[in-house]
Structure formats: C-alpha cells, structure tokens
Amino acid sequence: MSRRSPARFVLIVVVIAAAAVRLFTAGVQMAWRPLADALAADPAAACERLASTPLLELPPVAVLGLRLQTGALTRAPVECAAAVLDRLARLQQRWLPLMAAGHLNGVRAALAREDLDGAAERLAGALERDPTSPYLHRLSALLMLSRGRYEEALGELAFAEGLAPGFRLPRVEVLPGDALWVELEGLRKKAELYPRKRDEALLALGSRLWTLDRKDEARRTLDEVGSRPEARLLRAEWALQEGRAGEAASLAREVATRRAYPARLRARAWSTLARALDAAGETEAALEAASEAVRLDPGSPGPYVAMARVARRRGDLEGALASMRRAWGVAPTDIGVLLEMAATAEAAGHGADARLVLERANELAPDRADVAARLVELLLRQGHLMQAAMVLSRELDRHPTDRRLLALAGRLGDQTSSR
C-alpha cells in the first residue's frame, strides 16, 4: 500500500493540474472573446482595450489570436493597431515558435507604421517558417513593388501562382502583359514544385499557349509530356482547329477505343472524334461517336456539345439547341458552353435566349473582353443600339485597349449616325 501511494499521489497531482489548466484556459477564452468580437463593431475602442489588456501576455491567447480579425485594426488609430499587433507578435513568437503567425503580425505592425525595412525583415522570418504559403509570397511581392523591385516582385508572384494557381490575396497590381507572364511562369513553377502534378501543369501550360496563338511553344511544351493520352487528345483538338480532320480523327480514335483509360477521358475523345468525323463529312459516323460520348459520360457537357454541332451541320437546329440545353444543364457556369449555346440559339431563331445566355456569360467572366464583345455584337445585330451602347461603355472601362471592343464602338457610331 505504501509503495503504491506515491504513484497515486503523482496521478492525483497530474489530474488536478490538468483540470486547473483547463479551467485557466476556459477563463482566458471567456475574457478574450468579447474583446476580439468588439473589433468589428468599434475598432478604435476595442483596439485601446486590446493594447492594454494583460491577456496578451498569457499563453492561451497565442492560439486564440490566430483567429483575431486583424483586418479590422486597419480602421483603428495607427499607433494603437501597431501596438496590439506587436504584442500579439511577441506572444506568438514565444509560444508558437514554429509557426509564421507571430512574424506575420510583426509584418503587419511594421506596415502600419510604414516601416518597409522592418516589414521585410519580419517577413523573411515568416517565410522561413512557412515557405509554401502563397499569401506570404504575394505579400513579399507587394513589399518589393513598394520598394521599386519590380522584376523580383514578378518572380515572387510567379512562385505564388505555382504554389496555388488563382490565389489572389493580397491583391497585387502589375501590368497586363506581366500578369500573363506570371500566369504562364506560374504553371512552369507548378510543374517544378509538384512532381506528381507535372504533367497536369504542362498540359495546362500548352493549352494556354495555344489559345495565345503561341503554337510552336505549345507543341514544345506538349513534347515534354510524352505520349500521355491527354497529350494525344490535346493534339487531336489542335489538329481539328487547324483543319486537319483526318489527323484529328486518328489521334482521338487512339484514345477513345482504349478501354483501359478512364470513362471521362474516353468520352472527351469520342466527342473530339465526332467533331473530326463531322468536319470530314462523315455525319452518321459522327453521330454514333457523339452518342458513345454521351453514354460514357452523361454528366459532362462535351458530348452534348459534340451532338449539337453534328445536328447543326445536318440542319437540325432545334435538335442542336436541345443538346445544348442539356450541356448547359450539366455545366451552367462553363463559359465555353454558354458561348456555344448562344450561337446555337441565335442560329435556331431564338434571339432572346441567345441574349440571356451571353448576358449570363458576361456576368460570370467580367475579365474576358471576348465575351463582352460577343454580347455587344449580338445586341447590334438585333438592333438594340441603346443597350449595346450601355454594355460597350461599361466594358471599355474594364478593357480600354481591347481592339475588338474599340472596333465595335466605331461600328456603333456608324449605325447610330446613319439613323
């Protein structure tokens, strides 16, 4: 009994200590929550309380502070906000030394005081702890831009794009041509950073280069992928676009008939084969290929688009429109589907439907000048000059140098003056 008593005593002490820690942490949470919540309602008053509270010396707040809405501090007086961020940074660096959070709050404090050198120094500490954070690399780019180091900033943006394509926080403004460089270089970085996603990144890069009419670069990029079925299929689609229907059909058939490939990939291949056969004048074979694509992947828009194109070539406009409605139903936000739907609806004499679809596409893709131009062209064809002028004015504010929109402005002027 006496031998067991020391162990039992230790166990009791541990249990009591654990309970005390839990009670202490719960008490700190109860005291912290009202302070943190008050930031959104009254940043200035809440900042004053946070700057003086002893809670910012307690270990539990290092973790609780991770959820603090530091953005609200931008509406508080600068010195107060910087003081709160400094205190939180010190606390987190002490108790969460392996995390970037403390250093990041130090960056925010330095930026609040417009201390760019101090912000850069603290950001280096944050990146050391979290080198794969796209947010930190974009923040680094922003700091570089503010210090006149434009080329280095572009490199950081490309690295961030490689880590997380499409991630846009914090917002960083660069020249349009440089934004495209960042996008393309980001895909190259993704191929380097994620070996398992290398082929996926190179396929995306090749496809993007093709849309930019940089066809030789696109082909060289695809050569790096080897003989993957996705690469063969992409080559088939390119051949079809260049009018080489026979080559496109041969490449697409290689993928479509291999049962070992995933159903969705084979469905895409059957869709491409249908378009190639249709272009070669083999309408019945094209219809069979499109039907096979629908059978394999009824939840994808591609097969229905292929069926619609075959139907249009045969003169069955209502049938084409029915297929496009099914494509739209399974992919309501796909811009390519919406553009095809608009063209099919207009060809079938449903002008109001075509306008509705193009307006929807314009809402979904405000950054695409070509979509806006399609909408303006439709409005001009339909004689809706006032609506065309309103859309054109808005879109020229977004894309002031787009040649197609500028040409449409001249065309609108000619149509208006002739009335």
- pLDDT per 10-residue tile (average), the chain, 419 residues: 60 61 71 86 90 90 88 89 95 94 95 94 96 97 95 97 93 90 96 94 95 94 92 96 96 95 95 93 91 92 90 90 94 94 95 96 92 94 92 90 90 74
Q: Which residue has the tokens 């960042």?
A: 182
Q: Do 351-419 and 227-331 have the same topology in CATH?
A: yes
Q: Are 179 and 212 in contact (CB under 8 A)?
A: no
Q: Are 382 and 351 in contact (CB under 8 A)?
A: yes
Say which CATH topology domain 227-331 has.
1.25.40
pTM of the predicted protein model? 0.77
Quick one: pLDDT at residue 9?
59
Quick one: pLDDT at residue 195?
93
Residue 84, both tokens? 């709160």
Quick one: pLDDT at residue 118?
95
Per-residue b or e along 149-185, where b marks 16 or more CB atoms closer than 10 Å to that residue's CB: eeeebbbbbbbbbbbbeeeeeeebebeeebeeebbbb
What dotted CATH number matches 351-419? 1.25.40
Quick one: pLDDT at residue 313?
84
Gap between the terminal Cα atoms of the chain: 109
Burial bucket for residue 281 (CB in 10 Å: 0-12, 13-18, 19+): exposed
Compute the distance between CA of residue 232 and CA of residue 258 in angstroms, rounded to an integer. 13
Quick one: pLDDT at residue 240?
94
Domain extent listing, the chain: 1-129, 177-225, 227-331, 351-419
Rounding to the nearest 10 degrees, give the CA dihedral for residues 188, 191, 193, 197. 150
